[in-house]
Amino acid sequence: MVKICCIGAGYVGGPTMAMIALKCPDIQVVVVDIAVPRINAWNSDNLPIFEPGLDEVVKACRGKNLFFSADVERHVADADILFVSVNTPTKTQGLGAGKAADLTYWESAARMIADVSKTDKIVVEKSTVPVKTAEAIEKILNVNHNGIKFQILSNPEFLAEGTAIEDLKCPDRVLIGGRETPEGKKAIQALKDVYARWVPEDRIITMNLWSAELSKLAANAILAQRISSINAMSALCEATGADVTQVAHAVGKDSRVGSRFLNASVGYGGSCFQKDILNLVYICECNGLTEVANYWKQVVHINDYQKARFVKRVVSSMFNTVSGKKIAILGFAFKKDTGDTREAAAIDVCHGLLGDNAKLSIYDPQVAESQILKDLSMNKFDWDHPLHLQQYMDPSEISKSVSVVSDAYEATKGAHGVCILTEWDEFKELDYKRIYDGMHKPAFIFDGRNVIDVDALRKIGFITYSIGKPLDPWVKDLPAAPPS
């Protein structure tokens, strides 16, 4: 029986390994992690992450050929193929702070592999890493080899949260990069044989290690660039009376462009886009490619601008002050169908409103109060580092101005304004007349995800703002907020 072990039981390691176990009943898959509570959760009825369809896949194989364990070294020593899916956050200090990927967790995993291995292994980079990481990993493993042979492969993951199970079942492509030596080719074939159980062969692409590593950064940068492009257009739409949804539809109909990933929003979030572009920027700078670095920086800059622009709209529309006013925040996750809040646009928008002394009442169907308070009191980039390295504001300060409630009606009761920051389906179905009746007048609604029916809400009496849509005359006539 082939034995697979995955180091890192997170958003990628857990679902990806569960899918391999489901599709390959003859392979034993063990997912290991140093975070014991996370492993306990994977072994319980309450999985540590919310992902549609994940429970069913895990329950179908857990205890048969899928196992979760905190006994990291034992399972690493036993494995034939080792996936490494640990976090690769943005560095918060030292050289490249705020841009470069922090490979501390990767390196410590590699050193542990070198220490405990007694048999030859294929080591697969599943984490998103800077191009040329495999070279460093090879050096670490081969200097400490004890006669054991390691082959390094790059097999970046393209799943998106909220659709991870579908993405894993029917991937657009699986990328495998490896050395072009006979041993490298043999390792590529071994990993290809695993995916070939359910992925059509023409979707399994093999290439050299550096192309595979860079393709992942390139894919995320180009996806984020599409969002920043349409978000930049949304600002121009608001200034001119064009409607960004109509513009996106027209542009996306061109088969060379395609219609997906052109939804204007309050800004992209998630653990990947910003981190990976900053990492790309840093790699470009290190290679002396200043113009290229500046080009990609602009994608992040527009995203920050979009979040700041949203806050300005809220404050300027509400008579240039939100001080002491209750504002309902509907949605805190970085997108629908996930409880993940990493780099969620809601965090920056809430900080902006709190900076203007608003009182926030927050509701999200999947995010717990403790997580929201933690996110709002933590420094930027700290979320992906171990607890002892995270720096917090005093959470009691945050809770003076923030309450977290269990439904949208409670959040909006007595509010002056509502901000929709995640596109949860349930926000399309709300009884907005009931919400309007319970609010202070004039009642404002700011839709950062274009989920509301603007005309219907205006008929109810709301003053509405929707990203990139023709402005409500009330919003338009107000003086612009001073630049921050």
**Residues binding ligand UDX (CB under 6 A):** 157-161, 220, 223, 227, 261-263, 265, 268-270, 272-273, 334-335
Is residue 225 part of an annotated ligand binding site? no
Is residue 275 part of an annotated ligand binding site? yes
Nearer to ligand NAD, 115 or 429 (CB): 115
| Partner from ligand NAD, ligand UDX, none contacting 460, C-beta within 5 to 8 A by type | none
**Residue 57 to residues 32, 48, 338, 483: CA-CA distances in angstroms?**
18, 14, 17, 50
128 CA to centre of own chain: 12
CB of 259 to ligand UDX, least distance (A): 10
Is residue 89 part of an annotated ligand binding site? yes
CB of 274 to ligand NAD, least distance (A): 11
Residue 467's SS3 state is coil
CB of 269 to ligand UDX, least distance (A): 4
Please spell the DSSP secondary structure of 134-155, one letter per residue. HHHHHHHHHHT-TT--EEEEE-
State the residues that interact with ligand NAD by CB under 6 A: 7-13, 32-35, 38, 72, 85-88, 105, 108-109, 127-128, 157, 159, 161, 271-272
Long-range contacts of 221-226 (CB under 8 A, 24+ apart): 221/276, 221/277, 221/280, 221/296, 221/299, 223/261, 223/273, 224/268, 224/273, 224/274, 224/277, 224/299, 224/300, 224/303, 225/296, 225/299, 226/261, 226/262
Query: What are the helix and strand counts (H, E) for the chain?
Result: 19, 14
Q: What's the residue count for the chain?
A: 484
CB of 92 to ligand NAD, least distance (A): 15
Is residue 297 part of an annotated ligand binding site? no
| Partner from ligand UDX, ligand NAD, none contacting 88, C-beta within 5 to 8 A by type | ligand NAD
CB of 348 to ligand UDX, least distance (A): 12
Distance (Å, rounded) from C-alpha 373 to C-alpha 236?
A: 34
Known catalytic residue at 350? no
C-alpha angle 108/147/117, rounded to 5°?
A: 40
- Which of the following is catalytic: 272, 284, 350, 419? 272
End-to-end alpha carbon distance in the chain = 61
Please spell the DSSP secondary structure of 333-355, one letter per residue. SSSTT----TT-HHHHHHHHHHH
| Partner from ligand UDX, ligand NAD, none contacting 269, C-beta within 5 to 8 A by type | ligand UDX
Residue 204: its H or E element: strand 204-208
Nearer to ligand NAD, 281 or 439 (CB): 281
Is residue 74 part of an annotated ligand binding site? no
Is residue 339 part of an annotated ligand binding site? no
Residue 119's SS3 state is coil
Active site residues: 272
Q: Which residues are annotated as a binding site for NAD(+)?
A: 8-13, 33, 38, 86-90, 127-128, 161, 272-275, 342
